[in-house]
Each structure stands twice: as C-alpha cells, then as structure tokens.
Amino acid sequence: ESLLDIARQTLFLHEVAKPEIRFTLEHEGPAPLVSDRRQLGQALTNLVKNAIEAVEAREDGEQGLVAMRIHQGEDGQLLLDIADNGIGLPAERDRIVEPYMTTRSRGTGLGLAIVKKIIEEHFGTMAFADRPGGGTVVTLCFDTATLAPMAGTGAEADEVSPAALTRTKNGLKP
C-alpha cells in the first residue's frame, strides 16, 4: 500500500470537516509499505483526530495546524510525523497509550491504545515529542525490511507469514 495515499485520504476527510484548520502533507515519494490499509487508515485517523482536538483546545486565536511528513529514516525505515500546534502533551505523557487513560472529559482512553496496537502489528514504533513552538509531534517508524517478506506471493509468502513473524517477534517458534 502507499502510505502517501493513506495519509492523503485521512487528511482530506478532516480537511473537509475542519476548513478553519490548515492541513499540510510533505513527502518524498509514494512511500510503499506492506500494510493493512484499513487498519493503518484507522490509526492515522485517530492520530489526526487527537491533533485536531488539541488544536481546538487552544484559546489564543492562532490558526490551527496539523502537518504530516513522510520521509525515509536510517536502514530502510519509513517515518511518518504528525505535528500540531495544539495544547501539547499532558503531564501524564508516559501513560497516554495505556487503555482507558484519558485527559478529556468525554474520552474513552482507547484511541491511542488502539493506534499503538495497530502500529505494533505492523512491526512499527510510535513516539511522542513536544513540537518546537508548542504542540505535539507523533512519529511512527516502520521497518520496511521486516515487512517486505509479507508482500510476496507464492513460495516466499508461505515461508514468512504474518503469524510466523508475530510468533518470532514474541519469542515463540513458528
């Protein structure tokens, strides 16, 4: 799947709903990634929704910004940054991906826990940082070399199935 296409679709849906917020997408190319398009789309949607809510929580009147950037990392890593100029990370930043942990009065605390699970199922990692100038940056990092064998068909796909990769990752033998 093209991570770029998934990101574009996610941003487009939010851009239509929130025209008062500026959405940007910076990329270096199509960014192919072996992935479950639906799940990855859900993860990006949850992250963009959180960014929008953080932007809307500000009270200084500055225009909201949600910016995505897709770029290559070291050793074949594919990185996706989602930055916003919202209220920033909460004091409980170390716990924000725990199930049922929320800082919002109407939140369930499941959004980031679901995102974390989806990213881990794609053998990726998720990191949070303060954005210079205020706000938050969420960085998703995918190891394309680990995911590549899952793209094949025929004999090589039988050799390395998603279930086999999961068992190996968890220390169990396939």
Q: What is the pLDDT of residues 52-68, one digit of tens each?
A: 999 999 988 889 999 99
Q: What is the pLDDT of residue 153?
A: 47
Q: What is the pLDDT of residue 82?
A: 97
pTM beyond 0.85, yes or no: no
Q: What is the pLDDT of residue 163?
A: 44
Q: What type of residue sits at position 137?
A: V
Q: Among candidates 29, 146, 10, which has minimal Cα distance to 82?
A: 10
pLDDT tens for 42-100 read 999 999 999 999 999 998 888 999 999 999 988 889 999 999 999 988 767 676 676 55
Question: Quick check: 89 and 130 in contact, CB under 8 A?
Answer: yes
Q: Among candidates 122, 125, 100, which has minimal Cα distance to 111?
A: 100
pLDDT tens for 114-155 read 999 999 999 999 999 999 989 999 999 998 878 888 776 433
Residue 10: count other Cβ atoms within 10 Å of its Cβ.
Answer: 24
Q: Among candidates 122, 95, 37, which has minimal Cα distance to 103?
A: 95
Cβ contacts of residue 82 below 8 Å, gap of 6+?
44, 47, 48, 51, 66, 67, 68, 137, 138, 140
Higher per-residue pLDDT: 159 or 129? 129
Q: Is the pLDDT of residue 111 over 70?
A: yes
Output phi, psi for 122, to 5 deg.
-100, 20
Q: What is the pLDDT of residue 99?
A: 59
Q: Among candidates 121, 106, 129, 132, which has minimal Cα distance to 49?
A: 106
pLDDT average, residue stretch 98-110 = 61
Q: Which helix (H) or strand (E) holds 9?
A: helix 3-17
Q: What is the pLDDT of residue 160?
A: 41
Q: What is the pLDDT of residue 168?
A: 42
pLDDT tens for 15-34 read 999 999 999 999 988 888 88
Q: What is the pLDDT of residue 103?
A: 61
